[in-house]
Structure 1
Amino acid sequence: MTAISEPSSTSHAGLVGFYRRVIKLPEHIPLSLVQLAARVAAAHVFWQSAQSKLASWPVTLQLFANEYNLPFIDPSIAAPLATAAEITGSVLIFFGLFSRLAALMLLGVVSVIQIFVYPENWAEHLLWASLLFLVLTRGAGVFSLDYVAERTLLAPGK
């Protein structure tokens, strides 16, 4: 009679150990790289949106008046406010300057878009908000002007 041998515990542990090491590799990616990617991606979205508004201002005003059903605010005020928020927020978050404030401002823009303009696009808005929440909760990271300013202002001996 031949015995069926089960895999040895060392080979099983070796395979499981290897798997665990492989799935933990991304944990070695510096958080600052993730923060930088989130900032650049969010900045791109809002910069492009602002540029499309500026490219045809009369169309932008029409959209705010007829399609974007914003309550409590006149379209002639809402359009420049939204455009200014997108430009300011995208530039600040790109350079990592006042990043948490910029993320909060852009989260406000996302909230307005989600609630009043395109509620059916919730998945896209959730993606944008996720990037912005990362910056809001964890900051801009090492590759930012916020980091430089903090190190400069809090440098010992100053």
Structure 2
Amino acid sequence: MNSSASNSLIGLICKANTLLGRIPENLVQLLARFSLAAIFWISGQTKVEGFALNIIDGTVELGWPRFAGSTLYLFREEYALPLIPVELAATLATTAEHLFPVLLLLGLATRFSALALLIMTLTIQLFVYPGAYPTHGIWATGLLFLMMRGAGTLSVDYWLKRRCGDCSP
């Protein structure tokens, strides 16, 4: 490759890097929060009957939630977590998959919520689906990003930080 073509290619790469470096971090944080919340919320919804809320397909059922017929079976037979009773594991997982996604969407206690979901992800990886490491790695990366950078300016955390002062290290 001649010097002129090489310089043109380097210039193009530099311009592309500059352009891509301008992607607003707040937008990435919002997308990470929404995407990760959706993953865990949808999983939680498969574990309950009587309560359904899906803003994408418009499903709304505002009854009292109870375990779906297959939930305890899955925790007993397929998930089979060690050291924890089936009913407790199902209750904790189902509650976490509904609570922490809502907090992520709001951007409230984002770092704590991301940590809780990371612990859940690691538990799933280690004890339930060890072969699903590519998927769990993507989840972990997004959750670690939120733990590291926080919720961004489009969040309740940001509003509280501005109103009450900075509590981050």
Q: State TM-score, norm by structure 1.
A: 0.87
Residue correspondence of structure 1 range 1-158 to structure 2 within 5 A:
9=4, 12-55=6-49, 57-154=68-165
Q: Give the match's secondary structure for 1:67.
A: helix
Q: How many residues align?
A: 149
Instruction: Give the Å deviation of 1:58.
Output: 2.3
Q: Give the CA RMSD over aligned residues.
A: 1.8
Instruction: Give the Å deviation of 1:27.
Output: 0.5
Q: How many angstroms apart in 1 are the aligned matches of 2:6 and 2:129?
A: 51
Structure 2 residue runs of 5 or longer lacking an equivalent are 50-66
Instruction: Give the Å deviation of 1:66.
Output: 1.1
Deviations 1:14-67 (A, max 9, x none): 552233112331100111111111111100000000001113622001100111
- Structure 1 24/60 Cα, relative in aligned 2: closer, same or farther at 3 Å? same
Q: How many angstroms apart in 2 are the aligned matches of 1:76 and 1:7?
A: 69
Instruction: Give the Å deviation of 1:154.
Output: 2.4
| Higher relative contact order (CA closer than 8 Å, sequence separation 6+) | 1
Letter in 2 for 1:116: F
Structure 1 segments, 4+ long, off by >4 Å, are 6-9
Q: Give the match's secondary structure for 2:83.
A: coil
Deviates more, 1:19-28 or 1:46-55: 19-28
Which structure: greater strand fraction? Answer: 2
- Structure 1 12/86 Cα, relative in aligned 2: closer, same or farther at 3 Å? same
Letter in 1 for 2:101: S
Deviations 1:94-118 (A, max 9, x none): 1100000000000011011101111
- Structure 1 21/67 Cα, relative in aligned 2: closer, same or farther at 3 Å? same
Letter in 1 for 2:47: K
Q: State TM-score, norm by structure 2.
A: 0.82
Letter in 1 for 2:22: H
Deviates more, 1:14-23 or 1:57-66: 14-23
Which structure: greater helix fraction? Answer: 1
